[in-house]
A and B are shown apart, each in its own frame.
Chain A
Amino acid sequence: MGRVRILKVTGPVLIAVWTLVPLLWLVSLSLKGGDHINDGRFWPTAPTLRNYRTVFRTDLFTSALRNSIGISVIATVLSVVLATLAAYAIARLDFPGKKLILSVALGIAMFPTISLVGPLFDIWRSVGLYDTWPGLVIPYLSFTLPLSIWTLTAFFREIPWEMEQAAQVDGATPWQAFRKVIVPLAAPGVFTAAILTFFFAWNDFVFGISLTSTGRARTVPAALAFFTGASQFEQPTAAIAAAAVVVTIPVVAIVLVFQRRIVAGLTSGAVKG
């Protein structure tokens, strides 16, 4: 018994240390002045916000931030809308090839992204999608849709059929029943899918670095590789750390804000039981 309790306490602590130390180190690095980067200390001796100022003053970063936000949001909205409709059809309708769609979707989700980069680079160059927003939105969509469809299908299956039938008897058209009853009930699933998609697009490096060449469409993770220091003679490490902290903030914020919504069992109380 005692051993179990020790594990219960030390387990989470270990995990927290394991995940938080690199983050803390990143933050600390972003606060260090130019000469202290390699001083080998964990805490900055003279904390400064200089790196953040540098980051926001460089065009490279601000345009990349704009691209990242725009592309991620567009990919997320499209992915969620399409996945919702597709998952609803898969959960509710009986049509030939349903199983096939689900397994193909899963297959695509398993596909290693790196193997697509080469062909996409060529195709995008010839069709004019290279270094554009759609050029990134499209691959993000195709990699996140399958997972979104799977998540949402599971959610729709959980919603009792009768919910919708009750709405129809109450006088709703199928579209009204979907919009006023099914979608609100699937909200936790929709949020989950949205967050997964957003993070995929937000964190992606492989497509971002390969399918862009200028500030027109380059996203933050890709742009970090092009960072230079505040002056030509300075190591860019601290600036990169500051930029990394800046792009991590929305991720943490989103998780904290939507955590409750994701976890909440919205369907409880719908039917007997």
Chain B
Amino acid sequence: MAAITLEHVVKRYGDGYPAVNDVSLQIADGEFMILVGPSGCGKSTLLRMIVGLEDVTDGEVRIGERVVNDVPPRDRNLAMVFQNYALYPHLTVFENIAFPLRLRQRPAGEVRQRVEEAAAVLELTEHLDRKPSQLSGGQRQRVAMGRAIVREADAYLYDEPLSNLDAQLRGQMRTEIARLQGRLGVTTVYVTHDQVEAMTLGDRVAVLRKGVLQQVDTPRALYERPVNLFVAGFIGSPSMNLVPATLEGRRLRLPFVEFDLPPAAIPPTSGPDGPDGTPMALVAGLRPEHFEDAALVAPAVRERGVTFEVKVEVVEWLGAEQYAYVPYGAQAEMVEPLHRLAAELDRESARLLLVASIDPASRIRRGDPAHLWFDPARVYLFDAATGDSLRPPTLDGHVPEYQDPAGH
């Protein structure tokens, strides 16, 4: 087992476009690191550089203490599960899993024993004599995993290993991977698109955007303290409401409500006014789950927050959750940075639609006027031009105590 260190790693393909740009990342021995980002941001490229299938244009990749930039894949002793399995179709499941051991010329007895162990863990025992083409997607997936886990690799790399599975199997395999990692305690790098995998599996999550590392932190820290609009929009499901706003002194004006920020939440950079005396233009971030139907909030709690009237366009009741969608208007030029961000996050466009996750007990109905409640201490503020978080540093590492307004 070994740590993996990337230092100022750059990858340029033939056309000169940097698919990975100056990424520095330390993955500790035994750590489970998640790599997330929109399609084409360079996740696979980064993984392939670690495993040695792609040359490093610039910078350094180390496994343990060893610089491996020029070491061929077979000498790096890493195991990888490919995005599309890459099983050997002419070999049986047994031989697929045994392949790495056969290359190392292990005695037949040992090979049999280890393949059978791996097959038992992955519930593949009864399929050992079949060919990959006779297996279901989930079974193939597990064979690919088996080929990785029979080895005693220094680290395990997964490239969106569950992306082709249906929801149920995905959940099952997710638990399986978490269990394996817990049992073996091996260094793991795991690429995923999936919010749940990102939040539940890893020790830390690295967020990549256009080849540039945005933030590396625990899932909780990413959720609570995103460093910029991109991370804020990417982490969390449903994603954070990003709303054009202006700040004048303490006064934060959103298209649908205005209120005074609590002193602790005021960004340090804001004076009484913006630079040229006008109110400062910002982007405010409001997590759907921080809204509540005002009718369900205890009066004492309601005092602390902001209540505002809305006209709900759509209500989705899912039993355990309930979402209310509220359209709002805003000036075109203020929405511009949001459109740019939406394009980057692969969403069609920034819709001026507030999503509120409210208590399923709420009786808010579509078309009815209703009141929503929000705690101003939980608002995120971002620079409209750069997208950087404007959360005052005093709030770093300290999240205002949140009282569930609905009282559970």
Contacts and interface: CB of A to CB of B under 8 A. Distances in A.
Given A268-B133, A272-B140, A169 B87 contact: no
A213 interface: no
A266 B99 contact: no
Contact of A269 (B53, B79, B104, B131): B131
A169 B78 contact: yes
B262 interface: no
A266 B90 contact: yes
B74 interface: yes
B90 A185 contact: yes
A229 to B, nearest CB: 52
Nearest to B147: A170
A163 B88 contact: yes
Given A169-B53, A170-B147, A160 B133 contact: no
A166 interface: yes
A171 B89 contact: no
Interface string A47-91: 000000000000000000000000000000000000000000000
Contact of A162 (B84, B99, B132): B84
Most buried by A among B88, B99, B104: B88
A178 B51 CA distance: 19
Contacts of A171: 74, 100, 103-104
B74 to A, nearest CB: 5
Interface of chain B, main secondary structure: mixed
Interface string B77-101: 0111010111111100000000110
B72 A168 contact: yes
Interface in A172-195: 172-173, 176, 180-181, 184-185, 187
Interface string B135-158: 101001000000100010000000
Contacts of A185: 89-90
B74 A160 contact: no
B26 interface: no
Contacts of A184: 90
Contact of B134 (A167, A187, A269, A270): A269
Contacts of B140: 269, 272
B70 to A, nearest CB: 15
A173 B75 CA distance: 10
Contacts of B74: 168-173
A160 B100 CA distance: 19
A166 B86 contact: yes
A168 B73 contact: yes
A180 B90 CA distance: 10
B164 interface: yes
Going nearest first, the 3 A-B pairs with the smallest beta carbon separation are: A269-B133, A166-B86, A269-B132
20 contacts: A160-B84, A165-B82, A166-B80, A166-B88, A168-B73, A169-B80, A170-B74, A170-B99, A170-B151, A171-B103, A184-B90, A185-B90, A267-B89, A269-B87, A269-B133, A271-B84, A271-B85, A271-B86, A272-B85, A272-B164
Given A163-B88, A171-B74, A270-B133, 19 more contacts: A160-B84, A162-B82, A165-B82, A165-B86, A166-B147, A169-B79, A169-B80, A170-B100, A171-B104, A172-B74, A181-B90, A267-B89, A269-B89, A269-B134, A269-B140, A270-B86, A271-B84, A272-B84, A272-B164
